[in-house]
């Protein structure tokens, strides 16, 4: 089984999103009374009392800029939760169980930033990492796949970017 590079929203990008998001809006922070929001800045879930901000984010845009690609219509913008203030980032390396252990869609993108494959992942309790790794192995077996985005099934929200093992 390969070890994959699960990436949160980079700290510098998160800082810009807190000031003005990818929809051009300034979003107001709020206190999360219930907890459980999937945080894209640290790949964990919020706890009751955390101060969060819900921003619009275009995840493929950053990858495309880095790789000189033009994703065209695949440059989607959607909602993501962040801590309202900078946080320490992920508390672990590898599989982010806090956000990837439920039904997810894994979308593969090619060097142009266009979707070239996808997998529906519905892990059995306690087996999320193995199921996710198998889906990633399958997607990355296609040499056209350059990057994979993990998204929520129900809402389509971006969870994390995954890159090939180094």
pLDDT-derived band of residue 71, with 50, 70 and 90 as boundaries? Answer: very high
pLDDT tens sequence across 4-34: 888 999 999 999 999 999 999 999 999 999 9
**For residue 72, what are the domain limits?**
5-163
Domain count, the chain: 1
The residue ranges of DSSP E strands in 16-165, in sequence order, are 30-31, 38-39, 44-45, 51-57, 78-83, 104-109, 115-121, 147-152, 158-163
pLDDT tens sequence across 99-133: 667 888 999 999 999 999 999 988 766 678 888 88
In 3D space, the residue among 166, 106, 112 whose CA is nearest the CA of residue 139 turns out to be 106
Residue 75: what pLDDT? 93
Q: Is 105 helix (H, G, I), strand (E, B) or coil?
A: strand
Q: What is the DSSP letter of 113?
A: S
Residue 157: what pLDDT? 87
Q: Virtual CA dihedral for 48, 27, 61, 149, nearest 10 degrees?
A: 20
């Amino acid at each position: 089984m390969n070890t994959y590079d699960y990436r949160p929203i980079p700290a510098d990008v998160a800082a810009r999103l807190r000031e003005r998001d990818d929809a051009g809006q300034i979003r107001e922070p709020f206190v999360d009374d219930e907890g459980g929001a999937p945080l894209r800045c640290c790949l964990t879930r919020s706890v009751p009392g955390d101060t969060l901000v819900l921003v619009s984010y275009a995840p493929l845009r950053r990858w495309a800029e880095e790789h000189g690609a033009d994703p065209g219509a695949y440059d989607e913008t959607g909602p993501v939760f962040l801590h309202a203030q900078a946080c320490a980032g992920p508390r672990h390396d590898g599989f982010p169980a806090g956000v990837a252990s439920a039904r997810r869609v894994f979308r593969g993108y090619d060097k142009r930033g266009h979707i070239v494959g996808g997998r529906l992942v519905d892990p059995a309790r306690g087996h999320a990492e193995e199921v996710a790794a198998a889906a990633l192995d399958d997607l990355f077996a296609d040499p056209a796949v350059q990057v994979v985005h993990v998204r929520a099934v129900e809402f389509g929200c971006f969870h994390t970017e995954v890159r090939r093992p180094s």
